[in-house]
Structure 1
Amino acid sequence: MKNRGTRSIFVGACIAMASVLGLSACGAGDQGDDTAVTFAVGSPNLEITTAPYVAVPEQMGFWKDEGLDVDVQGTEGATASVQMLAGGRADIINGGTSSFFQEAARNPDIQVISLTGPNVWRVYVPEDSPIQSIEELKGKTVGAQSLSSASYLFGVAALESGGVDTETEVDWLPVGTGNQAAEALNSGHVEAYASYDGPAGVVGNLTTDGLRALPSELDNYNGLLGIATLKETIEQRPDVVEKFLIGLIKGAIFSATNPEAAIDLQFKQFPEQRPQGSWDEVLSQMMPVAEKRFVDGGVQTDGLPLGTLSAEDVQSSIQLMNEYDVITEEVSAEDVLAFDLNNAAWSQVDPAAVAEMAEEYNVE
């Protein structure tokens, strides 16, 4: 394994901050009200890609139907979300699993309760770029949401696995998301952008020629994005966690069935995000993003319930992260995974009924 001293120290410092904060005896939402849940999402602007697990459950009342009051808070990335969880300021978090597993190596209370299937993390270049492979990024500048985000960490893994030394052969530049990232690409300040399906689609719509993903070793791995909480939350508030996951599952089914409806609900939740123009013009921008993130992202593997992966599959992904120093500690998937409540939530959901609800939704 290569010695990635600078990056390891940076990531370790970020995670160590969470440890300094200390674990709270009670979750953020457990303040005498067992209906309150604080959900930290590793996306500062809660853009369109978060619709299945933010806007749709909230606007359709999926969490409210379960008796929950969910407070969604966007963060600068998975590391920031983990800090909130470890510090008792969030009950459940979303983000790239690199930060989850890194913290779990130090804190055995971290539990991963739901995971995506196919890889969503990629390195993108402008559509008309001459760059066709990861190796051709040598000597280039690569942008990422921030240098503490999972987008950066998985970007490192993608480049390292493609034969690029990410400390000596590329420059990294934090460029945020949305318009800021698009401007960095349009102006040539960065020649590539490390992100994940969805946010990259939004950025691509804002660039001159769109974006194209470069093939990488990460495409062969699953479970690189997910949901986590604390062991004590599972033990003390299992019904709350299960009900939260019911809302999440319904949101995923609804969004995959009717992406247009999910887009409409996103802009009802966040009207300031709606692009200018007619609804048809909005859809022409948003539908490619939605179809990629809502439909393709909802595919599961091995016939398991959405959100559940085999321990062997996850361990393989952990080994990839270890190999390229995305995480610097050894972690056992068996110790971190806790899918029982996700599977219990699935048993409470009628997928056909949710799909019918989505099909009957009328965009106003």
Structure 2
Amino acid sequence: MVLDAVNRVLDRRKYFREKKRSYRLKEREEIDRLTTQLAQLQLHAKTLRLGRQLYTQPVKQEVVAVSWKTIAIRLRRDKSSIAAEHDELTQQVELQRKLIGKMQHFVTLAESIPSSPRAQVKWQHVSLSGHPESRKLCKEWATQQLYYNTEAAFRSFPKAPADDEFMFFDMDLAENWINVSDCSQYVWNAPLEVARFMLCYHLRDISISPTDVDIEEAEWTENTVLYRFTFPMASGDDASVVSSSLQGHFHEADRCVFVARQIQGDELCQLPLRQSQTVMWMDLRRLDSSRTSARVTSFSSLPLQQSGKNSLDEMAKFAGIDTTDLEDAEKLRVLRHARSERAFKNEVLFRDRVNAVLDRLWKQLLQTELRGK
């Protein structure tokens, strides 16, 4: 019943789109026909006038001959037109040259950076240019690179039935690098289209972020969204830092893939960007007409420092734990346990928020359908 309601809404929208497209095509065809008819009539009138002049007046040599003044005027006119075209082409070449330079700089920065031997992804430095066209291409490249590696990202995903739900978290230390990975599987009681709409336009409602974090949807393109998470640099500090995340969404038949990655540089962001390496894949698949399966996997790596920022003690302090007097192995064990507990608590909160938002969107869609009857 619910699926029928959704199908009726979609069919009605499709019907009106097709009607509007049909009207526009008819108007365009009528304009083209009238334009062609006008050109034919003008040519016919010109022919009639010329024939009448030839019939009533004798042809004289001075009438047929073109004066040098007329030739000079025409040459000057053509020269001006050619000069304008040359200037336009020169500008286009210069714009393309700048774009190529920006993209070469992007590729140079995006070359692989040092990473942990156990890291499951090849880390890249992604920096967005202030040049509009280059910026758009950088976003497309950065998200498509993840999309093309979707199958590889899920290669180590636990084997389980599509309608099972679970969550797995792991953190290890390898050659002064901390690697964190997690994977989850959800079953949402909503069609694929509703789940996709939620992830595109209601990320704030389902995001698990502290209350002092401001989430901004900074930029949209056809299939990418740039999010900026602004939060205090330290507790009680007025200074702010930004964590910039680029999301891309790709639609297939009965499937939708969302990808996200951390941005390390942005010429249009005034605040300092948080330097971290995190990537995420979300694979949505239709289970049936009213259920959607979502597989999520993410990876992050952080170079470990002996003291201060990015040290085990500092990470433990952020989690509310004092590990100053512990050995490194024990610090890692305690930190892994704390991070794992927090991950599972956030998982429960995330599931509750997603279910609440999906239920609200589903009810709104049904009410819209009922009002349309």
Per the normalisation by structure 2, the TM-score is 0.24
Higher relative contact order (CA 8 A, sep 6+): 1
More strand by share: 2
